Amino acid sequence: MTKIGFIGLGIMGVPMVRNLVRAHMDVTIIDNGHGNHAAIAELKGQGVKVMATARETAANQDVVITMLPNGSVVEQVLTGPDGVLADISPGTILIDSSSVSPAESQHFAALAKAKGCSFLDAPVSGGEPGAIAGTLAFMIGGNEDVARQADPVFQAMGSTAVVTGPNGAGSVTKLCNQIICFINIAAVSEALVLGQKAGADPKKVYEAVRSGLAGSAILEQKAPRIYARDFAPGGFLENQMKDINNAMETAKNLDVSLPQAGLVQQMTASLMQAGHGREDNACFVKFYEAISGVEVKTSL
């Protein structure tokens, strides 16, 4: 049985752990006093072991997975006095599924290597629905052979796990994914605002276009949220802000122009300043609503 330490029990982390348990893996999690207490109690009842520190959570494991808000938190969890690397066994595979910059992933890989451990940057796409269903898409940077060793772990939580290059490449791929997603969310928002203003019910607009060329996973997930005014977070807008900032910084370092992503960055910043950071990024429609004087809402 694969022994796994899992650190990060947020919107994504809790269902990921549930799927590891369903796959009959031996899972250890952390309760540092600031976590999701109801979820921790539930998982403990399913046989998951609970530790007080990252150091204890990572000790004597085959694989350690981190799913954390940003790179600075990942670094703290890895390198702190009671961090993952403080008592790690050589040969442990570290998998960071957080959305961080490529440079941060390469730095974490070097820290792991110094401890005799392998590192995979393996951010995901699929959001909370994919985490719950176990259909996440893992974008992996690192050694192909190491990734294949971890295949049963990826398969327990996702539907695909593709190595796109060396360490850092997984995080680059996630930024590419996020650019595509965020621009699509903006396009869905823009279109529904136009339809609403012109007198077409947004639910009917969605139903009319979803089977045509405009159909997409983003349309399926976000349009119903928008016209139902459901902005409860499946993923926080503040995380979109972090990811688009990482994308723009990476592009700047590589001398790549991202004009559409730059516009999304500005609109996201405006929404953050308006207090929408803890809403689902379907709230992107509010930017267009504010400047168009309309609210997208179905009457059906």
Active site (catalytic) residues: 174
Burial of 81 (0-12, 13-18, 19+ CB in 10 A): exposed
Token readout for 163 is 């190595």
Whether 244 has a pLDDT exceeding 70, the answer reads yes
Q: What is the mean pLDDT of residues 145-173?
A: 97
In angstroms, the CA 231 to CA 284 distance is 10
Element (H, E) at 137: strand 136-141
- Residues 83 and 76 sit within 8 Å (Cβ to Cβ): yes
Whether 258 has a pLDDT exceeding 70, the answer reads yes
206 CA to centre of own chain: 26
pLDDT at residue 31, rounded to an integer: 80
Domains along the chain?
Answer: 3-167 (3.40.50.720), 173-292 (1.10.1040.10)
Q: Is 183 left (phi over 0), alpha (psi -120 to 50) or beta?
A: alpha
pLDDT digits (tens, 9 = 90+) for 20-67: 999 999 999 998 666 678 889 999 999 999 999 999 999 999 999 999
Does residue 119 sit in helix, strand or coil? strand
Residue position matching structure tokens 């440079």: 103
Taking all residues of the chain, what is their mean pLDDT, rounded to a whole number?
Answer: 95
> Which of 7, 150, 111, 142 lies closest to 69, judged by CA?
7
* Angle at the Cα of 280 from the Cα atoms of 153 and 190, rounded to 5 degrees: 120
Q: Would you place residue 212 in the very low, low, confident or very high pLDDT band (cuts 50, 70, 90)?
A: very high
Whether 96 has a pLDDT exceeding 90, the answer reads yes
pLDDT at residue 203, rounded to an integer: 98
